[in-house]
A and B are shown apart, each in its own frame.
Chain A
Amino acid sequence: MIKITDLEKYYRTEEVETVALNKLSIEVKEGEFVAVMGPSGCGKSTLLNILGLLDDPDAGSFLFNGIEVAKFNERKRADLRKHNIGFVFQSFNLIDELTVFENVELPLIYTGVKAAERKKIVEEVLDKMVIMHRRNHYPQQLSGGQQQRVAVARAVVNNPKLILADEPTGNLDSSNGNEVMQLLTDLNEQGTTIVMVTHSEHDARYSHRIIRMLDGQTVMENIMV
């Protein structure tokens, strides 16, 4: 599903150039659950942003389902993103002014789904995430675990092929964290490919494979049994 080859990314300021990704090559197959680990600044979030088409590489190749997307323009990227990729962030990133229902509904609006159908899909997803009873609440009225479940619901509502999770349990206690990890595992078992950045060995154990990074390069891969 994903094949990146010799990917490079630099961050430049007036005085200094930082290498975030250094000729990185990774492959993720459809249906895989991959965890990316490494110390802060090793480039794992940069990798996730490029995989999510939120950022573009400076060099290298990025094949998504066999299509070269590294040089896609903003419109093409947005189109690919909204139909294929769901995001889960550490800090949930829900819109405070929208209710739980409306937050989850958002991606469907941008893919042009009709209102009646949207309602049906959102209710199904909320049901699945066991958050239906909170559908009319605002994010501030929810616990961290509930907020992350809403974020996961929003990530999956468009039925994406790929979910990118950036430290999804980073802001949660262990009980809520486990709940979210179980949700991701269930989604993966239903066929969704998952790439997750994490600092937690515990969370990484939910994945099929762990990619360990250092200074913008892969240093080790562990296959989980």
Chain B
Amino acid sequence: MLFNYLKIGCRNLLKNKGFSAINITGLAIGMASAILIFLWIYDEVTYEQFHEKKDRIYEAWNLASFSGELHAWNTTPKVLAAAIQKDLPEVETTTRAAWPQRIQFAVGEKKINASGQTVDSTFLQVFSFPLLKGDPVTALMDPLGVVVTEDLGRSLFGSTDVLGKTVRIDNRKEKKITGVAATPPANSRFQFEYLLPWADLRTDGDDDAYWGNNSVRNYVLLKANASPASANAKMKVLKPRYDKEDPNWQMFLYPMSRWRLYSSFESGKETGGIIVYVRIFATIAILILLIACINFMNLSTARSEKRAKEVGIRKVAGALRGHLVGQFLGESVMIAFIAGLLAVLIVVLSLPGFNRLAEKTMRLPFGEPAFWLLLLGTIVLTGVVAGSYPAFYLSSFRPVSVLKGTFRKINALITPRKLLVITQFSVAIMLILSTIVIRKQLQYAQERQTGYDKAGLTYMFMTGDMDKNYLLIRQELLQSGAAASVTKTSSPLTQNWSDTWGIFWDGKSPDDKTDFDRFSADENLAVTAGLTMVMGRDFDLSKYPTDSTAMLLNESALKTMGFKDPLGRIVKDGDMEFHIVGVFKDFILGSPYYPTKPMVVEGAKRWFNVIHVKLNNKNSVAASLKKMEAICKKYNPQFPFEYHFTDEEYDKKFANEQRIATLSAYFAALTIFISCLGLFGLAAYMTATRVKEIGVRKVLGASVSSITSLLTKDFLKLIGISFLIGAPIAWYCMHHWLQSYPYRTAIEWWLFALTGLLTAAIAIATVGYNAIKAALANPVKSLRSE
């Protein structure tokens, strides 16, 4: 019997090629989209899942109140690890990790810049990064040692047999390779090419025991049967025991299972994080698949008159309803199977592009039986869902009606088929409207005035001898005509590396814990960055040598401090005193979606990491960069010339929203495409069933336009209803989404009008083809065929 079903299923597929193509294409695209999205979700939910001790690993977080608002964050003091080890008996061990850094590795003449971290010697015992060579217990104990990945080892030495070999780091110290690690899995927060031992940091004088310096990540491995609640109770009161400055400052241990997906905090409470996108995309995947299934349902039931005779004959021949349900479900599973294979092909072809878009390295795990089982399960489920309604609908036909020709299609006000079209287009309208709102929000933020001039503004991180030779480099950059202006700063203008609530001025309230962005520059900051001075002047060390302890404020800082006449006023940062020489208009240092914070720019006495260069617009960019390269190589020969354009770096602030906008645009396009595919097929069948009516109307004098409108208006009504359902849902979702951006666009009425018109235009174009074709047909021919 099964063979008979398969046989007739295959023949039906081949006989109705158009129908089959629409169904298979729709299902394949739906399944391919779902597979891609589920690959992304799988990648997200398996973050850090490879660590053997993952259930016992925690990260220490701060929980403290500033200006009445509770904040939670995960950079903590270096000294914390020892205190945890001492005071929490639940803890087996701790490990720390400093900020990732890019440093130079050299072997002979070969120089490679690699990213990595300085970590405690216990790092490889807490986290599961297996060493291919070396002992994980001792590899990070040797102050002169370094662990490298096999890829870095191969790049440096041409082989992975590098244990015990020596490398030169940052052209200033020799290190012996004490371990060769496998490259970390992509779905981990730790993406390192090297690991330096904590002792190295100590040797460089960068270790400290200051409780106020939140500068590293502290990780905790609990004992096997330890209670996290008990450990957390002790964490809560840990800091005040050692640091009397702030008795209300709490800390807590945050489990590894929540790091990736849930670590977004507002007012000290978890508010979601990537899990929100996981849920959104999972919903989208299911909706796209459902829309493809709806196509199948619609087209199958639209063709019901063609299949009715077969149902009647089979029933007369002794088939029970169950036999027929089985047969039709079998057919839909078969179609889903073909679509599934096509979907895998589509995924294979589109995965590189999707990986680029999602900035991941996902792959289809062909070698894993679980993948095939899941794929097969998805195919069968899709087939059953898609085939369920047609199967029960078609098998319900009474043989007497269909065989005697008294079977008639339903033309009620509300039919399941109409409901299905409405469902499809409601989803499509939701996605279109959401995409437009996301794009508008992105554009709104991108068009926000940055407060500085990005054009021709480049920056370089100071490596090797650049700091020592800075004055020479600056002088040559200006003399050569490559630069119009040069300044040395603590961080790039696009990044906030330091903030503090330890700024003091006369009249500051003792309760005021305003957090200031802290930046530093030597001189010519305003002219190089194109800042607008509203009061006073820029730093100028040649004219005013005391500017090394001068300070610039932004307007928000001035407002916070409340000075009426700020110039010359003294402001303290910790132990250092600065005098205010100027006030500039706010510029965006952090997120373009948030209001600018109060900001202080401290003078040349502070530390510097970056050189900003405003390129001379009289020369071409390429010529200026060439000159810059020559000058940097002259004064910093051991390091490669690396530069960044500020405008490109600024654009990276929108990467997340850009990615969401692009993904939602793709999904909206796919949804509308699949829906239109179904609508096209449906319109074709609907038109075919009205051939006689069209013929009669034409004979009676109906024009082409009146027939076209007759055939199109029913579908447009459905689109109208879909709009009334989809638009409010989209508004609700997008309104909610926009609330996470303090600097946000408005959802205006014209967005709805645009979405409605766009959807109607697409629907008319889809249905119109069949309608016009039917309207232009010769009525004599259509009446004769009846």
Contacts and interface: CB of A to CB of B under 8 A. Distances in A.
Nearest to A111: B318
Size bracket of the A interface: 20 to 34
A81 B318 contact: yes
Interface string A103-117: 000110111000000
Interface stretch (A28-36, A91-99, A172-180, A182-190): A91-99
Interface stretch (B3-11, B411-419, B535-543, B724-732): B3-11
Contacts of A111: 318
Interface in A120-136: none
A106 B317 CA distance: 7
Contacts of B612: none
Nearest to B3: A115
A81 B1 CA distance: 19
Given A49-B400, A54-B400, A109-B4, A97 B317 contact: no
B400 A82 contact: no
B464 to A, nearest CB: 78
B400 A55 contact: yes
Contact of B316 (A45, A54, A74, A75): A54
Contacts of B12: 97
B11 A81 contact: no
Contacts of B317: 82, 106-107, 110, 154
Majority DSSP secondary structure for residues of B touching A: helix
Contacts of A109: 1, 4
Contacts of A75: 320
A48 to B, nearest CB: 10
Contact of A45 (B15, B312, B404): B404
B320 A97 contact: no
A84 to B, nearest CB: 10
Contacts of B321: 74
Nearest to A81: B318
Given A75-B320, A110-B317, A93 B312 contact: yes
B224 interface: no
A97 B400 contact: no
A55 B320 CA distance: 15
Given A55-B400, A97-B15, A102 B318 contact: no
Contacts of B310: 95, 97
Contacts of A94: 313
B318 A97 contact: no
Contact of A81 (B316, B323, B400): B316
B309 interface: yes
Majority DSSP secondary structure for residues of A touching B: helix
Given A54-B399, A97-B8, A102-B7, A110 B309 contact: no
A86 to B, nearest CB: 9
A79 B323 CA distance: 13
A95 B11 CA distance: 12
Contacts of B4: 102, 106, 109
Given A102-B4, A109-B1, A93 B403 contact: yes
B316 A87 contact: yes
B314 interface: yes
Contacts of B314: 95, 106, 110
Given A54-B399, A54-B400, A109-B1, A97 B316 contact: no
Contacts of B303: none
B236 interface: no
Contacts of A45: 404
A174 B457 CA distance: 97
A162 to B, nearest CB: 13
Interface string A61-83: 00000000000001100110111
Contacts of B754: none
B783 interface: no
Given A93-B313, A97-B8, A98-B8, A82 B403 contact: no
A110 B319 contact: yes
Contacts of B15: 97
Contacts of A106: 4, 313-314, 317
Contacts of B735: none
Contacts of A89: 403
A89 B309 CA distance: 12
Interface string A35-49: 000000000010001
7 contacts: A83-B318, A106-B313, A107-B318, A109-B1, A110-B317, A110-B318, A110-B319
Given A54-B403, A98-B8, 20 more contacts: A54-B316, A75-B320, A78-B318, A78-B319, A78-B320, A79-B318, A93-B316, A94-B313, A95-B8, A95-B309, A95-B314, A97-B11, A98-B7, A98-B11, A106-B4, A106-B313, A106-B317, A110-B317, A110-B323, A154-B317
